[in-house]
Structure 1
Amino acid sequence: MNKATLHIILFLFFIVTPQIKGLAQKTDTIVHVNGNVLKGDFRKMEYGVVTWKMDGMGTISVEEPYVNTFISSKQFEIKMKNGLIYYCSFEASETNGKVILIRNGQQEEVFIDDIVEIHPIKGNFWKKFNGNISLGGNYSRSSDVTTIAFSGNLDYRNKKTFFNLIWNYNLSYQGDSLITQNSNIDLSWQRLLKKNWSTLVALGTSQNLQLGIKRRY
């Protein structure tokens, strides 16, 4: 594949690929420890940080110690410190630093500090996918060097399966000659089993022509 063909393919991919934005109503609520009430879209909670999207402010992050409680009628996958996994929605607790889990019509009050991860579970098949794509390039006329960078990630999550694909691809040309080609692709698949067991399969491949690595798995 010559440089011109590659440029055309990447350009068309960038132009044709639509940017799909979430259409769900932002009806989730976070109550901050200072009493502020934040309305928005609960995205996830990982490593003690809640990711939240608000109209006009974009995506923000709130550290878990600053969250008093939160409310959402959506379905989430919640991983606890003790290894238990719940699929439920949330109601506000009257106790600071706690939240009520709603599952199968039953309620259970837990400390937010005891929650390790929170991820939304979406009903529609296509809405279970989440990811982003980045494409960039640069051309230096003085040295006739063209660089192209293409990266992204794609996740799929349901109640028992998690799929993750991450890629990073970098090319450099001088004139019509390829001088640098670096690529990394990582694919992982996790399946939850019974009695707190799970299975994980991962595959990775990389290439770096500058270091003489044609293909490594």
Structure 2
Amino acid sequence: MFFNKPLSTSKYIVVFFCLFGLNSAVFWAQNDTLVLKNNDQLIGEIKSMDKGVVTFKTSYSDSDFKITWLDVKFVRSAQSFLLTLSNGERLNSTLYTENSNYVTLQEETTKKTVLIADIVYIKPVKTNFLSRVVASISLGFNKTKSNNLNQFSVNSELSYTAYKWLFSGSYNSVRSNQDGVSETHRTDARLSLTYIMKKDWFFSSETNFLSNDEQKLKLRSTVEAGLGKFFIRSNKLFFGSGFGLAWNNENFSAINIENKNSMEAYGNITLNMFDFNDFNLNTDLSFYPSLTESGRYRADYKLNLKYDLPLDFFVKLGLTYNYDSKPIAGGSVSDYVIQSSFGWEFN
């Protein structure tokens, strides 16, 4: 047997370097370090930081740690990250702390030092597609004995982040049926592309779809493009607005109603509050005054309140409201949907 023979010097050297290489691999696989304000130290891998929470993976825990970013006083990593600062600046950089509560950023030959609190977004720069994707889906179901009412809802979101581009989309649907009443449904979907510019300005292009029985809409398609700016970007909230032009095309389910095409201006206000004791609030208001139909204006409002649960599960309460000052004959001026759902997020 092999163990009955003495090892030669060369074999000792081989074994030594194998063990050294293994230990080095383990060490360098855990090359990120965080030190918290209570002096707890974590060694592992920074997975991401968004909305004030850093996700940190270690070899000694099956679950990733979720840590409030403002509780970090020291960080060191050899990884390359996509970073966003509170002033809107975006960088590809490594992270390391020289002085407590400050981080030194190194982008090629440029070096700068910023407060840890001024970093509002961190994403490792990797080549694989899934590392840049965030997706979530939630489902809801309501049933009442009266009139045998059944209601089913789906709420989903998807985003992909590149260095200066952000692609996002969503799909939401509510279907209801009850005795003695025709089935009703409401479906909306959105595709958006955003290009981040200097000083928190951005260009956005978006396409929205809406199918709504209450307003006799078989399909409304709105394509819009314009400029926007983030006025506040911190580890607690985002606040911004935008403006531009939109082209609106409408097909109606009512008989003998011709399709409509119109040019509109639009203005938008968005507020996103997060990391308030696991609560997240996202609200958005868009206003569309028509440029080709005198006296007509539309408004779309959304409000989502989400509570984060363990293992990336969450519960969500949402409100969607649509207003049209000049609906077609038989259509409602306004429509709203309130959804409660349970879901899961992939990040």
150-159 or 68-77: which moved more?
68-77
- 1:99 is aligned with what amino acid? V
Whether contact under 8 Å (1:31, 1:37) holds in the other structure is yes
Q: Deviations over 1:69-124 (max 9, x none)?
A: 22333332222244432111212x13111112233366433211332433343311
Are positions 1:96 and 2:100 aligned together?
Answer: yes
Question: Given residue 55 of structure 2, which amino acid in structure 1 is its aligned partner?
Answer: W
Give the equivalent residue in structure 1 for 2:135: 131
CA displacement, residues 44-91 of structure 1 (integer Å, 9 cap, x when unaligned): 233xx1232554555624052x22122333332222244432111212
Count, aligned residues = 189
| Alpha-carbon separation, structure 2, partners of 1:26 and 1:181 | 50
8 A Cα contact 1:44 1:120, kept in partner: no
Pick one of 68, 92, 103 that aligns with 1:62.
68
Correspondence for 1:191: 195
Letter in 2 for 1:200: S
Give distance in 2, aligned partners of 1:84 and 1:194: 7
Q: Secondary structure at the match of 1:113?
A: helix
Corresponding position of 1:72: 77
Determine helix, strand or coil for the equivalent of 1:127: helix
- Maintained 8 Å contact 1:138/1:147: yes
Letter in 2 for 1:199: F
1:71 corresponds to which letter in structure 2?
R
Highest Rg: 1 or 2? 2
Residue number in structure 1 paired with 2:55: 52
Separation of aligned partners in 2, 1:170 and 1:186: 15
**C-alpha root-mean-square deviation of aligned residues, in Å?**
3.3
> Which AA in structure 2 matches 1:51?
V
Cross-structure match for 1:172: 176
1: distance between equivalents of 2:101 and 2:94?
17
CA contact (8 A) 2:93 2:107 kept: yes
The one-letter code matched in structure 2 to 1:52 is T
Could you tell me whether the CA contact under 8 Å between 2:188 and 2:210 is conserved in 1? yes
8 Å CA contact retained: 1:168, 1:185: yes
Residues in 1 aligned to 2:92 and 2:105: alpha-carbon distance in whole angstroms: 9
Residue 210 of structure 1: how far off its partner (Å): 3.7
Q: Find runs of 4+ consecutive structure 1 residues off by over 6 angstroms.
A: 194-197
Structure 1 pair 196–138 and aligned structure 2 pair: CA distance change class (3 A): closer
| Correspondences of 1:133-152 after superposition (within 5 Å) | 133-140=137-144, 143-152=147-156
Structure 2: which 5+ runs fail to align?
A: 1-28, 223-347
Q: What is the TM-score with the length of structure 2 in the denominator? A: 0.46
With over 3 angstroms needed to count, the CA separation of the structure-2 counterparts of 1:35 and 1:134, relative to structure 1, is same
Task: Report if the CA contact (8 A) 2:48-2:56 is conserved.
Answer: yes
Partners of 2:206 and 2:166 lie apart in 1 by 12
- CA drift of 1:168 comes to 1.7
User: Within 1, Cα distance between the matches of 2:48 and 2:158?
Assistant: 15
**1:206/1:73 Cα in 2 relative to 1: closer, same or farther (>3 Å)?**
farther
Q: Specify the SS of the correspondent of 1:182.
A: strand
Return 5+ residue gaps in structure 1 as ranges: 1-24
Give me the identity figure in percent.
24
Rounded to whole Å, the distance in 2 between the matches of 1:126 and 1:151 is 21
